[in-house]
Amino acid sequence: MSGKLYVCATPIGNLADVSPRLLATLKEVDFVAAEDTRHSAKLLHHFSLHTPLISYHKHSGKAKHAQVLAALSAGKHIALISDAGMPGICDPGEELIRDAIAQGTEVTVIPGPMAAIAALAIAGLPTARFAFEGFLPRGRTDRRSVLGKLQYEERTLIFYEAPHRLAETLADLLEMFGERPAAVVRELTKVYEKVERGSLSSLLASARHEPVRGEIVLVVGGAEVGDTSSDLDGEEVVARLLAKGLSPAQAARHAAQVCALPRAELYALAVARGAQMQKK
């Protein structure tokens, strides 16, 4: 008889957020597969749990992956946990969950904290429709490429970001999106939890003025309704980008990601429109 994989959310900072159901699950399973066994050992020790820990992280390799799947097939019950929050969300557990389902293992969830949803709830921005984008690329070129594809997204956007890259990301967001309402949420549920709400430009000024520490969730308002690439032709797209301060080359590059026109044609439109704007 096949075992069961329990996908268990763990606290993102405050151990008081542990649920009785999570504790019961961690106690009853045969193993706990943890992203960092040293970190998770502290959680188990705090609640006097002695369930064996095995490591499962992005560097575990195919052998460990196969070992966990084999244990499930052999009838072992395993709890999957990450360092904090929900496994499988921006987390190496995603592949294990998918393959466990594929081999016929029952997969269930022990719900709990998730930083992205917690941040959205207190950001003060629209919550009816949102898109979670995880971590943006570290390199500026790749990061701006991703943001270019999100310029006309009307849903509220949620990102994870490292504190030392926050100012760079806010600068790119401001340049490519223009002024938007946003919130920088850090150290959720911890002693120094802080939410800073405002425009992208004010948040950028703050990030540049004082060092930012801790784990960051960045929540950004979506594009205004109707301000979508599907409603605009190439000339209108480059005009809006130029109005936001982008150069003709930058406007053409970003417009090419959301329009069907060739980049060279968009560049010509941007140069012509830029010349018109200078005459006014």
pLDDT in tens, 160-219: 999 999 999 999 999 888 899 999 999 999 999 999 999 999 999 999 998 888 899 999
Higher pLDDT, 272 or 51: 51
Class of the CATH-defined domain 4-113 = alpha beta
What pLDDT was estimated at residue 112? 96
Question: pTM of the prediction?
Answer: 0.81
Contact 146, 121 (CB under 8 A): no
pLDDT in tens, 7-42: 999 999 999 999 999 999 999 999 999 999 999 999
pLDDT in tens, 100-146: 999 999 999 999 999 999 999 999 999 999 999 999 999 998 998 89
pLDDT in tens, 208-223: 998 888 899 999 999 9
The domain 116-220 having CATH identifier 3.30.160.270: the answer here is no
pLDDT in tens, 230-253: 445 788 888 888 887 888 888 888
Contact 12, 189 (CB under 8 A): yes
What is the token pair recorded at 279? 């005459």
What pLDDT was estimated at residue 186? 96
The CA distance from 4 to 78, in Å, is: 6
Confidence of residue 277 (pLDDT cuts 50, 70, 90): confident
Q: Half-sphere exposure (CA, 13 Å, Cβ side) for 62? A: 0
Q: 208 to each of 17, 168, 180, how far by Cα in Å?
A: 33, 9, 18
